[in-house]
């Protein structure tokens, strides 16, 4: 049976189901339990259901929060670490880079970290320079971790359940604009394996690979371009960027011969740069022209919503860039 849930409700359901199955699964972070129920209300009701041993409120100390998660996972538990905003993970960066990512190799595979680090990121109506960043690309160069970027409620639940039981540290990006969006989610048990992309829209004229919330922007732009120019645009949602489903991208490019990558992170050294390199190295012969990257300007995110809109890609700017590229 399937019902419509919001993205936040799907995440909550995934955590609830895993906590019911395994008392070693717990959520730890700032204001996740009593009172606030998480900055974006994802953990609403879980404290009342599972109590202070599985829903743990912490002081404002991100380094300590992550250290708690690493230590607990080393003794066989399955912590879910929530950073109130993705931006705050910088305080705990050493724990990810030098500890969590390296434990399996440095212990000769004796230790496996069932550790999920949930990061609410991206812009949302003027939350400012320190609360609006899309930091996916920073973590892509770190061996030993996986990176998930679910877009739909279905994927949010399925990927989170996979992450909780994955045996490697998982950086789990949740775009703040997605929390209230609704979509179908089955009641039956399911997981989504990492490294399997989703074709969000099928097409034959152009391939767009979009990251996180930009999948929805790409879909809106594709609809406009269909109406204006009768273009059939294929939109690929990678779901995870580490591992990345290059095979699905290759099949699409063999059909369309054109590739555009859209992300909310800044263009310089972004996720799109890595994916573009992979495409050029593996599918150069399929392409009619070089890969196009659309991303935020190389700028700090402004506080003003109007200025924020000028920095970050939106459906109008994406349509304009595609029209210019295809000389429409």
For 291, which DSSP code?
A: P
Is 131 among the catalytic positions?
Answer: yes
Report DSSP letters for 83-139, one per residue.
Answer: -SSGGGGGGGHHIIIIIGGGHHHHTTTS-----EEEEEES--SS--TTS----HHHH
Q: Which two tokens stand for residue 80?
A: 């879910």
Q: Which of 131, 166, 175, 229 is catalytic?
A: 131
Cα gap 232→225, rounded to integer Å:
8
Q: Which two tokens stand for residue 29?
A: 């972070």
The end-to-end CA distance of the chain, in Å, is 45
Residues acting as catalytic residues: 131
């Amino acid at each position: 049976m399937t019902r419509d849930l919001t993205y936040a409700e799907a995440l909550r359901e995934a955590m609830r189901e895993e906590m019911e199955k395994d008392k070693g699964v717990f959520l730890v972070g700032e204001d996740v339990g009593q009172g606030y129920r998480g900055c974006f209300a994802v953990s609403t009701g879980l404290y009342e259901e599972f109590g202070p041993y599985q829903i743990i409120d912490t002081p404002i100390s991100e380094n300590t929060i992550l250290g708690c998660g690493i230590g607990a996972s080393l003794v066989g538990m399955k912590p879910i670490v929530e950073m109130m905003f993705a931006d705050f993970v910088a305080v705990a960066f050493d724990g990810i880079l030098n500890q969590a990512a390296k434990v399996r190799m440095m212990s000769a595979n004796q230790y496996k970290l069932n550790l999920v680090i949930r990061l609410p990121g991206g812009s949302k109506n003027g939350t400012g320079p320190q609360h609006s960043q899309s930091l996916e690309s920073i973590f892509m160069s770190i061996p030993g971790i996986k990176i998930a970027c679910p877009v739909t409620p279905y994927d949010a639940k399925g990927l989170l359940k996979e992450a909780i039981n994955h045996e490697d540290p998982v950086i789990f990006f949740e775009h703040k604009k997605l929390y209230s969006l609704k979509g179908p989610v089955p009641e039956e048990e399911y997981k989504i394996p990492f490294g399997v992309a989703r074709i969000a829209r099928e097409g034959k004229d152009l391939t767009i690979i979009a990251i996180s919330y930009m999948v929805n922007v790409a879909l809106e732009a594709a609809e406009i371009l269909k109406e204006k120019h009768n273009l059939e645009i294929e939109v690929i949602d990678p779901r995870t960027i580490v591992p990345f489903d290059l095979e699905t991208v290759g099949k699409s490019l063999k059909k369309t011969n054109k590739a555009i990558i859209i992300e909310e992170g800044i263009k310089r050294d972004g996720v799109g740069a890595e994916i573009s390199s992979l495409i050029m190295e593996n599918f150069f012969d399929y392409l009619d022209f070089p890969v196009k990257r659309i991303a935020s300007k190389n700028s700090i995110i402004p506080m003003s919503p109007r200025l924020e809109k000028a920095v970050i890609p939106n459906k109008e700017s994406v349509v304009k860039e595609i029209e210019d590229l295809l000389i429409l």
